[in-house]
Structure 1
Amino acid sequence: MTGVLAEIELAVVRRRMLAAGAEVGPELDGSLISGGRSNLTVLLDDGVCRWVLRTPPRHGRTPSAHDVGREFRVTSGLATTDVPVAAPVVFCEDEALLGGPFSVWEFVDGVTVQSRDQLDALGSEVVDGITGALVETLAALHRVDHVVVGLERFGRPDAYVRRQITRWSGQWELVAPGDATVQDHAIAVRRLLEEQIPEQVHTSIVHGDYRIDNALLDLTGTTPRVAAVVDWELSTIGDPVADVATMCAYRHPAFDQVLGFPTAWTSPSLDDADALAQRYERAGGVELAHWPVHLGLAYYKIAVIAAGIDYRWRAEGAPEGGNDTAGSAVAPFLEAALTTLTAEGLSRPPTQGARCRSTTC
């Protein structure tokens, strides 16, 4: 093996890159950047240039997750816009070559801030600049005309909330833990969501998993900027309010258990969800209509994601990059969804300056 890929596999990748027009040297090396909970991310290096390869985990995949082809397609569409993405190189759907499809992008030099310690080391002024850059980038994404950039068939433009409820409920059926109380809470959340499906006011490209550690940051200048948004496997066409709600829902303290360490995005030194929502609107984002329903859906989605990580842990026995704490986050996220979707939560003004008024955000 050379890193995470065998030499014969690297040779296959190199041939595909050459066929796509990339200039690649005779020797290609591959080393693992990250893997386990999501797609495997591999740094490719020929001694002169670097690229990034993404491929699904070789075991424990769930249907519709880990979609590297989806990531390649959306970044190809966004490459000519002002939304920062890595330049796409090649997508290969032949699973016989690496055990799954794979995509390759040009390497983007940037900082990934994942842990609480990494964030705290930056200082309050830099952290505030990062927060502003993140919300401005998300607002810019939501202003892109998906038809103009060739993504008119990237997803259905309507009924986004209904489709999301169906999708994540289907995933839940595959990965749900055995705890009866947790199962009851999930059923209750789904029922409340189905009873309160809102009218879709806006349609745009949505990232689906937007937070600080899914962005590469350029911290070399006087003002932080987003060098590239990454991890597009949950992207589609849908309601942009849901993207903002997901960003806010990840601020829940239980997200630390999902990833298994004190995360940057749950840090109290960041803006709270209410302030994030306000900054998003000031950056030119859409009005956050029907906010409680979108926030409840976001909590539900993260609960299912946490259950999926726990499912892989239980099925594989401590897989690489997994953790044994994700299961403990499922109940808190479902409880947050229930609180947000009850009469108490829905009685709060949903669009007063994009206020996120849930105390669990």
Structure 2
Amino acid sequence: MTELPGLDLDRLAAHLGTGPLTGELIPGGRSNLTYRVGDGHERWVLRRPPLGHVLATAHDMSREHRVIKALADTAVPVPRVELLCEDTDVIGAPFYLMEEVPGVALRHRDQCPWLSPDKARALSERLVDVLADLHAVDPEDVGLSDFGRPDGFLKRQVARWGKQLDASRSRELPGIDELRDRLADSVPDSARATIVHGDYRLDNVLVTEDPLDISAVLDWEMATLGDPLADVGLLCVYWNGIGAREDDPITGTVPTLPGFADTDELVRRYAERSGADTGGLAWYTAFAYFKLAVILEGIHFRFTHGKTVGAGFDQIGQLTLPLVRQGLAASSGEH
């Protein structure tokens, strides 16, 4: 039995009452750690927080477990959760276990030789439709009425990510404080409150090829109740990529393949499906650039302190400032 960084398979097997376990790190995640584990008969997926420098209010396994469980009987595709363990003596951190769902997280163009332009268009539309379905769920109907505080959500979000930035500061970041101040001085009034995913993008869902569908929405660590346009703005940022990089290690380049909708088309479809007014989306897009810049700076901080697991983290720090520049442009109404 091989021990993985952040996951003691012996202790996990004893806790689950199974035989010897095998495990592997599932690549692609930049924050919470995800592993595939099995006992030779069954396989599961395990999620736990990162190894170090855990920011306040982030990486809450119980919240992630709760929202996935609550959405089980809705139109939103989610894995079945098996258990939540908050006893840090088992593997050194809280974790939860869920079923392994068929499908692939599409992060790179070379994963998609089967994705024709027609299928790419259909996948674009399905991705938006699932987001609209999420935002249509009544939190009270699924036991999530106390999952967040929608009043003042956007103002608190700007303040929260500003605090996260301060907790991860290790170098000069020209323009990031200006972007934060611009956002804080122009917070819009939210038209409605829904369950928000907080990190909705193509590679945070699993896609099946035949039939083409989204089998599960993953990575709910930032889910809460708030303004649904925050999800839409962030999806647009991920869709466009970071600084037009062809080797973008965060968002990948899959949406640049022939057939995928552009961001204007995504926004139009969302507005049609949800009935939402998306006329003020520029603020949400600028905020998404700021939020993502802070997240990446936190990851860079952990990398420089030897607290990351997996490959590709050496490039993350290069992306913070391009995001800041794009955020400033969006906040000025530039394209």
TM-score by length of 2: 0.91
Evaluate the alpha carbon distance shift between residue 318 and residue 234 of structure 1 in structure 2; reply closer, same or farther with a 3 A threshold: closer
Q: 1:78 aligns with which of 53, 71, 75?
A: 71
1:173 and 1:236 mapped to 2: Cα distance? 22
Matched, 1:332 2:334: no
Which whole-Å deviations, capped at 9, do the CAs of 1:160-179 have from their partners, x for residues lacking one? 11111011101110123422
Q: Which residue of 2 aligns with 1:353?
A: none
1:330 and 1:281 mapped to 2: Cα distance? 30
- The equivalences for 1:145-184 within 5 A come to 145-179=138-172, 182-183=173-174
Q: Which residue of 2 aligns with 1:64?
A: 57
Q: Is the 8 A contact 2:83 2:98 kept in 1?
A: yes
Matched, 1:313 2:313: no
Which whole-Å deviations, capped at 9, do the CAs of 1:85-109 have from their partners, x for residues lacking one? 0011111111121111000111111
Q: Is the 8 A contact 1:28 1:46 kept in 2?
A: yes
2:220 and 2:144 mapped to 1: Cα distance? 14
Q: 1:323 aligns with which of 294, 299, 313?
A: 313
CA drift of 1:296 comes to: 0.9
Q: 1:98 aligns with which of 76, 91, 94?
A: 91
Amino acid corresponding to residue 260 of structure 1 in structure 2: P
Determine helix, strand or coil for the equivalent of 1:326. Answer: helix
2:25 and 2:275 mapped to 1: Cα distance? 36
Amino acid corresponding to residue 267 of structure 1 in structure 2: T
Which whole-Å deviations, capped at 9, do the CAs of 1:125-170 have from their partners, x for residues lacking one? 2211111111000000000001110011111122111111011101
CA drift of 1:32 comes to: 2.0
Q: Which residue of 2 aligns with 1:253?
A: 241
Q: Which residue of 2 aligns with 1:300?
A: 290
CA drift of 1:55 comes to: 0.8
Q: Is the 8 A contact 2:64 2:221 kept in 1?
A: yes
CA drift of 1:211 comes to: 0.8
Determine helix, strand or coil for the equivalent of 2:313. Answer: coil
- State the identity %: 37
2:3 and 2:248 mapped to 1: Cα distance? 24
CA drift of 1:27 comes to: 4.3
Q: Is the 8 A contact 1:55 1:100 kept in 2?
A: yes
2:253 and 2:275 mapped to 1: Cα distance? 24
Q: Is the 8 A contact 1:257 1:326 kept in 2?
A: no
* Contiguous gaps of at least 5 residues in structure 1: 16-24, 346-357
Determine helix, strand or coil for the equivalent of 1:316. Answer: coil
1:131 and 1:55 mapped to 2: Cα distance? 30
CA drift of 1:193 comes to: 0.9
- The equivalences for 1:275-286 within 5 A come to 275-284=265-274, 286=276
Q: What count of residue pairs does the alignment treat as equivalent?
A: 331
Q: Is the 8 A contact 2:203 2:251 kept in 1?
A: no
Determine helix, strand or coil for the equivalent of 2:305. Answer: helix
Q: Which residue of 2 aligns with 1:267?
A: 256
Matched, 1:195 2:197: no
Evaluate the alpha carbon distance shift between residue 48 and residue 161 of structure 1 in structure 2; reply closer, same or farther with a 3 A threshold: same
1:27 and 1:234 mapped to 2: Cα distance? 33
Cα-Cα RMSD: 2.3
1:72 and 1:240 mapped to 2: Cα distance? 21
Evaluate the alpha carbon distance shift between residue 317 and residue 138 of structure 1 in structure 2; reply closer, same or farther with a 3 A threshold: closer
* Contiguous gaps of at least 5 residues in structure 2: none
CA drift of 1:239 comes to: 0.3
Q: Is the 8 A contact 1:214 1:231 kept in 2?
A: yes
Amino acid corresponding to residue 127 of structure 2 in structure 1: L
1:88 and 1:318 mapped to 2: Cα distance? 26
Q: Which residue of 2 aligns with 1:22?
A: none
1:45 and 1:142 mapped to 2: Cα distance? 34
1:56 and 1:236 mapped to 2: Cα distance? 18
Q: Which residue of 2 aligns with 1:349?
A: none
Which whole-Å deviations, capped at 9, do the CAs of 1:309-339 have from their partners, x for residues lacking one? 2112222187533422222211111111111
Evaluate the alpha carbon distance shift between residue 216 and residue 166 of structure 1 in structure 2; reply closer, same or farther with a 3 A threshold: same
CA drift of 1:209 comes to: 0.6
2:208 and 2:3 mapped to 1: Cα distance? 27
2:255 and 2:297 mapped to 1: Cα distance? 19
Evaluate the alpha carbon distance shift between residue 285 and residue 38 of structure 1 in structure 2; reply closer, same or farther with a 3 A threshold: farther
Query: Which shifted more, 79-88 or 119-128?
Result: 119-128
Matched, 1:237 2:225: yes
2:133 and 2:76 mapped to 1: Cα distance? 6
2:56 and 2:228 mapped to 1: Cα distance? 24
Q: Is the 8 A contact 2:242 2:251 kept in 1?
A: no
Amino acid corresponding to residue 171 of structure 1 in structure 2: Q
Amino acid corresponding to residue 256 of structure 2 in structure 1: S
Amino acid corresponding to residue 292 of structure 1 in structure 2: A
Which whole-Å deviations, capped at 9, do the CAs of 1:276-333 have from their partners, x for residues lacking one? 1112123335222521111111111011112112112222187533422222211111
